[in-house]
Structure 1
Amino acid sequence: MSGVLTMIDLSSLAVFAAAVMMLLVIPGPNMAFVTTHAVAHGWKGGVAAALGITLADLLMTVAVSAGIGGLVMSWAPAFELIRWAGAAYLLWLAWMALRVTATAAQDQAPLVSMRSIFVRATLNSLLNPKALLFFMVFLPQFVSLERGSITLQLVGLGILLALIALVFHSSLAVFASLVRGRLPAGGLSRRLGSYGFAAVMAGLAARLVLLNRPT
């Protein structure tokens, strides 16, 4: 990793890291996903979501570095397929949250495994075509043709981005869980948390439906 990053000058790395942090603090689907899971399932749920997002970031880095992302996005129907699949998946998550809340006992919190949250977060990121487009546009801006392999530079930048995002989202999960700890205990607060989660998932689905394919 350090050998790969030496291909990129320190000033470019500093600008890259600063740009990533500025982008992360802007509210978006990943922030909403981590926060809602941390509030609903505690800090472990939020960190599991953060890890899932990190895996998706690494997979998209590989796709961009190998040129797969460009091939997928160059096929016009691919954007629509990914977009509608992502929207359907988010609506399914919203429906499941409402269904579990409706059938659960008042004082019994619905059980969701950390592995399930991890998979949810990974799929949520991978089924967002805008995320792949972001990697395709953002990473190459910090690559230097004079500093060796373009592929290795893209991989190094993608890994660095994923690590910064993991630290940010994990910290966000801990903070959101502290807020959760201040909420009144009992079935009512858990139901409100599930309703809030369902509303966020439905909102993210609507966001994908209204997303226009870049020309």
Structure 2
Amino acid sequence: MSFESAATFFIAIFIFGITPGPGVFAILAKAMVEGSRRCFMLAFGMVVSDIIYLTLACLGLATIAEHWGELFTLIRWVGAAYLIWLGIKLFTSQPTLATSAPTTRRSSLEFIQGFLISASNPKVILFYIAFLPTFMDLSRLNGNDILLAAGLTLIALMLGLMLIAYGAHWASKRLQSAKATKRLNQSAGAIMISAGVFLATRR
């Protein structure tokens, strides 16, 4: 992959990462309520799942989306149900203006949540299958090419998702009253529920 191709690949992946979808909605909702830092492991889980899809596409396993259709459907429903459940919890939660309790113990759960959100969308691998030939010759692909593509994907997606998280958190900090916080929780919950419904109904 040439420098020009790598730069274009990076920009395209960045745009892909910030395109509205279940993952972006989940990042928005979490950042609005818990802050941008709490979104890191959630975003990282999504990115790891994407990199796995990217690697599978590079290795020529395009048929996985067809042969594992039932598994993808099951994962999609589990991810959707989890998002809806989190959304309901947010929507019905009582407003609080302080969040001093430690939350580091939930990092692994946030990673799994992010991984499920991305892994439950088999169209991601189809995107990479159609996308990669524009930037590299898959018939002459080597390990270095895959590592470069994975590294660029990691940086571009994490940059895009965390920028969304910081932006959402910055906006939420302007809302400090209990009434505003309640509305913020309800809005974030509605976003999360909508993301779950979107994930469950997409084909």
- Pair in the same fold by TM > 0.5: yes
Residue 98 of structure 1 deviates from its aligned partner by: 4.1
Match of residue 180, structure 2, among 185, 189, 193: 189
* Superposed displacement of residue 161, structure 1: 1.5
Q: CA deviation at 1:90?
A: 1.9
- Aligned equivalent of 1:159: 151
Q: Answer yes or no: is 1:30 the counterpart of 2:30.
A: no
Aligned to 1:49: 42
Partner of 1:93: 86
Q: Of 194, 200, 203, which aligns to 1:203?
A: 194
Q: 1:67 deviation in Å?
A: 4.7
8 A contact 1:139–1:158 mirrored in 2: no
Q: Which stretches in structure 1 are left out of the alignment for 5+ residues?
A: 1-7
Of the candidates 32, 43, 50, which is equivalent to residue 39 of structure 1?
32
AA partner of residue 181 (structure 2): R
Give the aligned partner of residue 4 of structure 1: none
Q: 1:149 aligned to 126, 141, 150, which one?
A: 141
Kindly tell me the number of residue pairs found equivalent between the two proteins.
Answer: 199
Q: TM-score, normalised by structure 2?
A: 0.79
CA contact (8 A) 2:39 2:165 kept: yes
Shift of 1:142: 1.8
Using the alignment, how far apart are the partners of 1:151 and 1:179 within structure 2? 42
The separation in 1 between residues aligned to 2:88 and 2:131, in whole angstroms, is 34
Say whether the 8 Å CA contact 1:52–1:121 is kept in structure 2. Answer: yes
Q: Percent same amino acid among aligned pairs?
A: 23
In 1, Cα distance between equivalents of 2:132 and 2:100: 40
CA distance in 2, matches of 1:149, 1:158: 13
Q: State the distance in 2 between where 1:167 and 1:105 align.
A: 30
2:170 corresponds, among 171, 178, 181, to 178
Kindly tell me: are residues 150 and 41 of structure 1, through their superposed partners in 2, closer, same or farther at Cα, counting changes over 3 Å?
same
Asked whether the 8 Å contact 2:95–2:181 carries over to 1, the reply is no
Contact 1:143 1:150 in 2 (8 A): no
**Structure 1 residues 62 and 24: CA distance shift in structure 2, 3 A:** closer
- Matched to 1:176, the amino acid is A
* Distance in 1 separating the partners of 2:81 and 2:34: 23
Q: How does 1:56-135 map to 2 (within 5 A)?
A: 56-67=49-60, 70-75=62-67, 76-98=69-91, 101=93, 104=94, 113=104, 114-115=106-107, 116-135=109-128
8 Å Cα contact 1:34/1:49 also seen in 2: yes
Higher RCO (Cα < 8 Å, 6 or more apart)? 2
Q: 1:204 corresponds to which letter in structure 2?
A: A
- State the SS of the aligned residue for 2:35: helix
Q: Is the 8 A contact 1:91 1:201 kept in 2?
A: yes
Give TM-score, length-normalised by structure 1.
0.75
Contact 1:86 1:128 in 2 (8 A): no
Q: How many Å separate the matches in 1 of 2:41 and 2:159?
A: 12
Distance 2:100 2:54 in 1: 34
Distance 2:54 2:180 in 1: 39
